[in-house]
Amino acid sequence: MLTTPIHPLWLRLTHWLNAFAALIMMLSGWRIYDASPVFPQIVIPPSITLGGWLGGALQWHFAAMWLLFFNGITYLAFNLLSGRFRAKFFPLSPRAVIHDLFAALRGKLSHADLRQYNAVQKLAYLVVVIDLIVLVLSGLAIWKSVQFPVLRELMGGYDRARIVHFCAMAVMAAFVVVHVAMVALVPRSLLTMLRGR
Ligand code: HEM
């Protein structure tokens, strides 16, 4: 008998397309950053960047940007219109986050029901979704700073928009490291994100 999948097909597709686009954006972004570092003391080793040189990296960055953008809109639209967003991520309270965080650190957090995210997961996923929106908006402010003056000024000007973009990238990179480590600890969750059940 067919049961409702834990993760619907649209979610699995948008998740993996997002992971692919985010990876391309990050690796090519590092090469673009190296051409003119915002923080002179931070230089990304060229061997872990994508694009070969500034022009090549920009091509990758702009190509993956459209995938990230339209895929992100699709994820948000399906989530909000279906009511899944509210059901999956709320209610969420600081008390629940602290409780689940300590339970996780003591190895006492249950993963029996993969349909439900714990409070730490809910917070982490909400933070990364907001972070991706900030990444796109700050990227737009840098790319089209003349055409979107209000956005540019909201970021504190062109130079600050670059800092916002870099910091949002760092938050995403930190999320991915912890996220992949957590998935490795609970491999069943990877199967559900691949097969739905
Ligand atoms: C190879 C890298 C990745 C792997 C293996 C992976 C794996 C997973 C898995 C297994 C889940 C489901 C967790 C569960 O049911 O307990 C999940 C959910 C999620 N992942 Fe990833 N992920 C990866 C990359 C990313 C990236 C790059 C992002 C964003 C920048 C991301 C954002 C999310 C979000 C927001 C959710 C929750 C989706 C929702 O339920 O609406 N993931 N991931």
Average pLDDT over residues 131-145: 98
Q: Are residues 113 and 197 in the same domain?
A: yes
The tens digit of pLDDT for each residue in 11-21 reads 999 999 999 99
Predicted TM-score (pTM) of the model is: 0.95
Q: Are residues 142 and 65 in the same domain?
A: no
Domain C-terminal end among 85, 110, 131: 85
Task: Say whether pLDDT at 1 is over 70.
Answer: no
Q: Atom 14 of ligand 1 has which residue's CA nearest to it?
A: 189
Q: Are residues 12 and 64 in the same domain?
A: yes
The tens digit of pLDDT for each residue in 56-113 reads 999 999 999 999 999 999 999 999 999 999 999 999 999 999 999 999 999 888 888 8
**Ligand 1 close to Cβ of residue 104 (< 6 A):** no
Task: Say whether pLDDT at 2 is over 70.
Answer: no
Residue at 93 is within a domain: no
**Ligand 1 close to Cβ of residue 191 (< 6 A):** no
Q: Rounded to the nearest whole angstrom, what is the distance from the C-alpha of residue 54 to the centroid of ligand 1? A: 30
Domain C-terminal end among 85, 119, 143: 85
Q: Rounded to the nearest whole angstrom, what is the distance from the C-alpha of residue 10 to the centroid of ligand 1? A: 13
Domain hosting residue 140, numbered range: 100-197
Residue at 90 is within a domain: no
Length in residues, the chain: 197
**Gap between the Cα atoms of 82 and 106, Å rounded:** 35
pLDDT range class, residue 149, cuts 50, 70, 90: very high
Q: Are residues 180 and 138 in the same domain?
A: yes
Using an 8 Å Cβ cutoff, are 190 and 4 in contact?
Answer: no
Residue at 95 is within a domain: no
Q: Rounded to the nearest whole angstrom, what is the distance from the C-alpha of residue 162 to the centroid of ligand 1? A: 26
Residue at 154 is within a domain: yes
- Bin 194: left if φ > 0, else alpha if -120 < ψ < 50, else beta: alpha
Q: Are residues 119 and 162 in the same domain?
A: yes
Domain count along the chain: 2
